[in-house]
Amino acid sequence: MDIDKLFKVPKIPVGSNKRRMPDLPTPEMLKRMKMDISPSSSEDTSHPARDGPSAGPSKPRSATVEDVEDEDVQDVDRDFAPGGDADYFAEEDEEGRFYGGGLTKEQKEILNIFDKDGGEDVREDLEEMNITAVRRLLTRFERAMDKNQDQRSKWPDDPTKFIDSEADLDAAIKALLPLAQYPKLAFPELVSSEAVTRLTGLLSHENVDIVIDVVEIINEFTDEDVGNEAEEEEEEEEEEGSREKALRTLVESLVSNSILELLVDNLKRMNETEESDRQGVFHILGIFENLIGFNADLSLQLISKTTILKWLLDRIQAKKYDENRGYAAELISILLQNNRANRLAFGKEDGVEACLKVLSRYRKRDPADADETEFMENVFDALCSALGEPETKKLFLDSEGIDLMVLMMKDKMQARSRSIKVLDYAMSGPSGSACCETFVEALGLKNLFSTFMGKASKKQHKTLPEDTSHTLSIISSLFSNLASDSPARIRLLTKFVENTYEKVDKLLEIRDACQGRLKQVEKEIEDEKKDLIAQGESVGEDMEDLWYLRRLDSGLFTLQTVDYILAWVTMEDDGIRAHIQQMLRRRDKSLKDIVKTLEIYRDNVDEDDAGRAPDEPSRKEILQHLIEFLDAC
């Protein structure tokens, strides 16, 4: 076989108006021109239309290959790489880094559009990005926008008159996409040239497709990773600071141009049965997440100045799961984090009722896949955040949320673990007293202690299972909130007596495990403290606070909760007290060890006075009474 003859280029008619082939054809072109020369081929699939459906097996085709002059060689593909870049059409890797021409597929399509009408300048701007190139792109965008507005105003009822300018505007908007890779260079210019004002103004455009283009551009501009790849040659710290400053300038300009209100208004215009509109909704939600991630204070403005919360709550109640429904639940969870005003607004919009309706679907069935599982967990998390407010706890109680969570605890579905977490939040603090009473009345103690006594898997022996942690917190809340000598409290104490104090033994087992983990961390902290003193540095309160938080994460918090429960049962039942003292002696310990833990707890406790009556003791006062009783034993 003559290899040189095989790869010679076939002659193309001179009359063709396609672009000429360059001197060095690309591998992609050669692949397109490859001909089937296998003699065993039974069918000619190169021209199915020509042969027709009834065509039978064809004979192998013979092909002649001739040498031609360069001026007669032209490409048969209209999208041949500009500039003869052999790697122009090379695919990007999975992380989005660019090879070859350095442009995404969409950017290549943009260049093909502009190539028909003065596109060479655009390609040059993208290949060598500088302030002049940025200004050229912005100028083209402004001209396209002005032309479209002018033609729409002249012929508002005749789309044929402005359809071309609409296509030009669409291309001009998409041509701004590469600017997201150069935030330090492009964003200040976007603001100073009032291009941001023009972009936000287009969110009111009559053509929803234009709105979707703008939404996609803004979503890219506000992404947290904007510019990470294009400017990676700079010093990392300097780059991070300049990127953040440029992004802050852009975000402030967007917010001042009512971006939040305009985006929420556009959610009502989108028809999610259409794929483009569905993507538009997804990008709008993405912009909200980007803006809140950059400035958490914007979450309050988003809720107070728009109707986004009502839209989100309606969206998560859709019966069929989809990507936007999942994103809506995630955004609700974000908006309610550490924000009392948003949580109260959530309650006023019947958010508690909406979440309970959604979660009730998972009582008898598990989510279909990982995405739906994440959706369910986000709804649970949103409910937990909202339950941090006393007002929400009342709404939760009125909506029979306690009863639903108890039923979920009974069923061994994925929602069971999340329901325990919700009950923990609902019953905590003085404002959770009513929820504690309803929990006992709903026969929740049986399911609660069933979970508490459950055996941990091998993976969970080294760390406390999340269910057990929340269960301990619920028991602690029950002892704090149930009235003394009430039937509910007596039923609670009975659980610790039955089956020969097995619940007490379980508490002591958990206590031993926590002390083992904490002992190792204490040694590490002592070593660090010695090193600081040896270096002549003083150990201040800030460092002590950090070490205390580290101890809490390493088992001290759980140890405090366990000892708080043990102190209560010791004080209220003589039989339990005798059993605890006996089991502690076997471990060479005594009630004094519990006292030491409670003293640390008392000295560092954060008071929660929300919902506490004036005559009710605070948590610190309760701890002091327990310490005094144990000292007297």
**Does the predicted TM-score (pTM) go above 0.85?**
no
**What would the pLDDT profile of 158-175 be if each residue is shown by its tens digit?**
888 888 888 999 999 999
Q: What is the 3-state secondary structure (H, E, C) of 5-73?
A: HHCCCCCCCCCCCCCECCCCCCHHHHHHCCCCCCCCCCCCCCCHHHHCCCCCCCCCCCCCCCCCCHHHC
Share of the chain above pLDDT 90, in %: 56
Average pLDDT, the chain: 81
The yes-or-no verdict on residue 74 having pLDDT over 60 is no
Alpha carbons within 13 A on the beta-carbon side of 618: 9
CA 79 to chain centre: 38
pLDDT for 290 beyond 60: yes
pLDDT, residue 228, reads: 57
Average pLDDT over residues 348-373: 94
Give me the pLDDT at residue 95, please.
47
Average pLDDT, integer, range 184-208: 92
Could you identify the residue written with the tokens 């967007």? 254
- Residue 400, helix vs strand vs coil: coil
Region 447-455: what's the mean pLDDT?
85
Q: Rounded mean pLDDT of 401-413?
A: 92
The band of 632, judged by pLDDT with boundaries at 50, 70 and 90, is confident
Q: Is the predicted pLDDT of residue 108 greater than 80, yes or no?
A: no
Pick the closest to residue 580 from 510, 501, 471 (CA basis).
501
Q: Is the pLDDT of residue 579 over 90?
A: yes
The predicted model gives 296-307 an average pLDDT of 94
Distance CA 110, CA 122 (A): 9
* pLDDT the model gives residue 511: 94
288 or 33, higher pLDDT: 288
Higher model confidence: residue 393 or residue 93? 393
Q: How much is the pLDDT for 380?
A: 96
pLDDT at 72 over 60: no
Angle of helix 208-221 relative to helix 259-267, nearest 10 degrees, comes to 130
Buried b (16+ CB within 10 A) or exposed e, 396-427: bbebebbbbbbbbbbeebbbbbbbbbbbbbbb
Distances (CA, A) of 180 to 141, 174, 185, 205, 211: 15, 11, 10, 23, 18
Q: Is the dihedral of CA 100, 105, 106, 112 positive or negative?
A: positive
Percentage of the chain surpassing pLDDT 70?
Answer: 75
Cα dihedral: 363, 439, 339, 354 (round 10): 40
pLDDT at 391 over 70: yes
| Locus of tokens 């003559």 | 2
Q: Which pLDDT band holds residue 121 (cuts at 50, 70, 90)?
A: low
In the predicted structure, residue 265 carries a pLDDT above the cut 90: yes
Q: What is the pLDDT of residue 53?
A: 38
pLDDT value of position 616: 80
The kind and range of the H/E element at 86 are none
The average pLDDT across 196-207 equals 92
Q: What mean pLDDT is predicted for residues 602-608?
A: 81
Average pLDDT over residues 585-606: 92
pLDDT-derived band at 69 (thresholds 50, 70, 90) equals: very low
Predicted confidence (pLDDT) at residue 309 exceeds the cutoff of 80 = yes
**pLDDT at residue 459 above 60?**
no
Residue 473 has pLDDT above 50, yes or no: yes
∠ CA 292-294-298, rounded to 5°: 40
Structure tokens at 64: 């002649």
Confidence of residue 105 (pLDDT cuts 50, 70, 90): low
Q: Please give the pLDDT value at position 418.
A: 94
3-class secondary-structure state, position 416 = helix
Distances (CA, A) of 388 to 337, 424, 439, 480, 611: 10, 10, 18, 17, 11
Q: 534 pLDDT exceeds 90?
A: no
pLDDT greater than 60 at residue 79: no
Residue where the block lists tokens 């990470």: 228
Paired with 74 in beta bridges are 20
Q: Which residue has the higher pLDDT, 525 or 75?
A: 525
Phi, psi of 20 (to 5 degrees): -75, 150
> Is the model's pLDDT at 629 over the cut of 50?
yes
- The answer, yes or no, to whether residue 78 has pLDDT greater than 90, is no
Compute the distance between CA of residue 554 and CA of residue 463 in angstroms, rounded to an integer. 9
Distance (Å, whole) CA 348 – CA 281: 25
Q: Is 106 in contact with 177 (CB distance < 8 Å)?
A: yes
HSE on the CB side for 198, CA within 13 Å?
21
Two tokens, residue 425: 């939040």
The answer to whether residue 180 scores a pLDDT higher than 70 is yes
The answer to whether the Cα torsion of 198, 201, 205, 209 is positive or negative is positive
User: 533 vs 526, 530, 594, CA distance in Å?
Assistant: 11, 5, 31
Higher-confidence residue of 318 and 92: namely 318
Residue 455 confidence (pLDDT) above 90? no
Which is nearest to 56 in space by CA: 68, 42, 40, 41?
42
The pLDDT assigned to 130 comes to 86
Average pLDDT over residues 200-220: 93
Is the pLDDT score of 417 beyond 50?
yes
